[in-house]
Amino acid sequence: MFFENIWYCVALASEISSRPIGRVVCNRPIVLFQTAKSGTLVALEDRCPHRQAPLSMGTVIGDEIMCGYHGWVMAADGRCVHVPHQETVSRNARIESYPVAAREGFVWTWLGDPSRADPAEIPEMPWLVADDRSSILSRFHARANDQLMADNLLDVSHADFLHAGSFGSRAGQRGETDTVRQEMETWTKPGSVHSRRVLKNVALGPMAAAWGGFTEPVTRTTSQNWRPTNTINIELAMENRENRILINHDHIMTPETETSSHYFFAFTRDFVLDGGYPNDEDMRREQETTIRTEDIPMVEAQQRNRIAFGDPLDVPGQADKFLIAVHRRIAEMRGER
């Protein structure tokens, strides 16, 4: 089912405060908060050991969280430290506490063996904090399996069709005079899978053309990097003699249940950092709209369809090489568990 000994992205850092939030990860409800006194990040099972009320309906007081139902208080390590009107507390009154860490704007939790949790293994994304870039971060929810949602990014050829109206190009469409030349290669490293796809002579969609002020076709180079479980970092370079712009877009998928997922997203640009078009809010509006109205509805429909048709075998195309390499790596990881 779900991998246990792995870091899962569970929130944006901007979501976390001393008001607790509840989130389901791999079918487990967890509560996330920052303690009010020491400012520490905490992730606990989202239940009070007394009567199983969600702690996310409770209140952070000092470095602890008080259940909103009968006032029991849990410390950051999951031990109950106070029951109203009692001198002592049962040693059974404890819940799981999960390792948790924030890195470059995302919050990650480890649900497996805590002794194996090394924050250094959290995928680093240095471009998110680089001085000469500007980033936006978003969170989405999808009623689709996290792998299906990740597969959307593992075959970027979807951009030319699903996003034809915005930043796609219809490159490769049947019947169009196809002057585009595609090169694609995929390779595997111990902890990651990589792909590089170059399209030459691409006529850009209106949105992408406006970003770089392009009037002529460009060479579009997409470099992709997959790390487990489903962190996909994409560097996209578009260039011709007019301009060269560089985009990083990052997509992190976390299972909520078998058929729903959390989708964390970042978009980083190296162009127009001085306040013209596009600024951060333009990027947020364009990207969130595209993901909400094009990507997620398509993948959710695909999820429903797979269930309706009893999960038929896919027929891969040449563009699926990267996706296939990633699926193979995941199957190996399942074997290694």
Would you tell me which residues interact with its own copies (CB under 8 A)? 24, 27-29, 45-47, 49-54, 57, 61-62, 64, 66-73, 80-86, 90, 92-93, 151, 155, 157-158, 160-162, 170-175, 178, 180, 182, 297-298, 301-302, 305-306, 308-309, 312, 314-319
CB of residue 84 vs its own copies: minimum separation in angstroms?
A: 3
Q: Considering beta carbons, is residue 65 or 208 the nearer one to its own copies?
A: 65
Structure tokens at 304: 């429903």
Q: How far is the CB of 313 from its own copies (least distance, A)?
A: 8
Nearer to its own copies, 120 or 315 (CB): 315
Least Å distance, CB 9 to its own copies, is 21
Quickly tell me which residue has 């989202």 as its tokens.
Answer: 46
Q: Which residue's structure tokens are 């011709």? A: 240
CB burial readout 250-284, b (16+ within 10 A) else e: bbbbbbbeebbbbbbbbbbbbbbeeeeebeeebbe
The values of phi and psi at residue 31, to 5°, are -115, 135
Q: Which is nearer to its own copies, 160 or 266 (CB)?
A: 160
Beta bridge partners of 140: 263
Q: Nearer to its own copies by C-beta: 47 or 251? A: 47
Structure tokens at 198: 């170059």
Nearer to its own copies, 45 or 212 (CB): 45
* Minimum separation from the CB atom of position 63 to its own copies (A): 11
Long-range contacts of the stretch 330-337 (C-beta < 8 A, 24+): 330/147, 330/228, 330/229, 333/3, 333/228, 337/3
When the beta carbons of 228 and 297 are compared against its own copies, the nearer one is 297
Cα gap 107→127, rounded to integer Å = 17
DSSP summary character for residue 77? T
Residue 47 backbone dihedrals phi, psi, to 5 degrees: -155, 145
Distance separating alpha carbons of residues 153 and 136, to the nearest angstrom: 18
Structure tokens at 110: 């480890």
Provide the minimum distance between the beta carbon of 11 and its own copies in the complex, in angstroms, as a whole number. Answer: 18
Q: How far is the CB of 198 from its own copies (least distance, A)?
A: 12
Q: In the complex, what is the shortest distance from the CB of residue 103 to its own copies, in angstroms, rounded to a whole number?
A: 28
Residue with Cβ nearer its own copies (74 or 128): 74
3-state SS, residue 102: strand
Assign 23 to helix, strand or coil. Answer: strand
Q: Give residues with Cβ within 8 angstroms of 257, minimum separation 6.
A: 24, 27
Please state, in angstroms and rounded to a whole number, the distance separating the CA atoms of residues 28 and 109. 12
Cβ proximity to its own copies: between 50 and 143 the closer is 50
- Least Å distance, CB 25 to its own copies, is 12
